Amino acid sequence: DVVMTQSPLSLPVTLGQPASISCRSSQSLVHSDGNTYLNWFQQRPGQSPRRLIYKVSNRDSGVPDRFSGSGSGTDFTLKISRVEAEDVGVYYCMQATHWPPFTFGPGTKVDIK
């Protein structure tokens, strides 16, 4: 199974400042079809997860453009250009290249300093 790791696991941020979360996979997430199936999900307190980014860098509909995804191979990053209060929550990366199983990272908890 592909193991997903994230860092940091806790990220206190200042409102209006940037934030960055790293996600690494135990093997390359490049699929034989040429795509890289790496998603990012946001889970706000008390809510269900919501997908923000798919295939590394594609924002889902309605996701603010302050969120961006990048990376390749085994190293990926989610960036928030200017953190807002509504961004508090836990962020998970998930790989969908080598499945089953789909595997998630442990999550990164973002809160306000």
Number of helices followed by number of strands (H, E) in the chain: 0, 11
Least distance in Å: CB of 70 to other proteins? 19
Q: Which residues bind other proteins (CB under 8 A)?
A: 37, 39, 41, 48-51, 54, 60, 92, 94, 96, 99-107
- Output helix, strand, coil percentages for the chain, rounded to the nearest 5: 5, 50, 50
End-to-end CA distance of the chain: 36
Least distance in Å: CB of 2 to other proteins? 12
Quick one: 17 or 58, whose CB is closer to other proteins?
58
Distance between CA atoms of residues 87 and 79, nearest Å: 12
Quick one: 69 or 107, whose CB is closer to other proteins?
107
Quick one: 60 or 111, whose CB is closer to other proteins?
60
Least distance in Å: CB of 6 to other proteins? 10
34: left (phi over 0), alpha (psi -120 to 50) or beta: left
Least distance in Å: CB of 95 to other proteins? 10
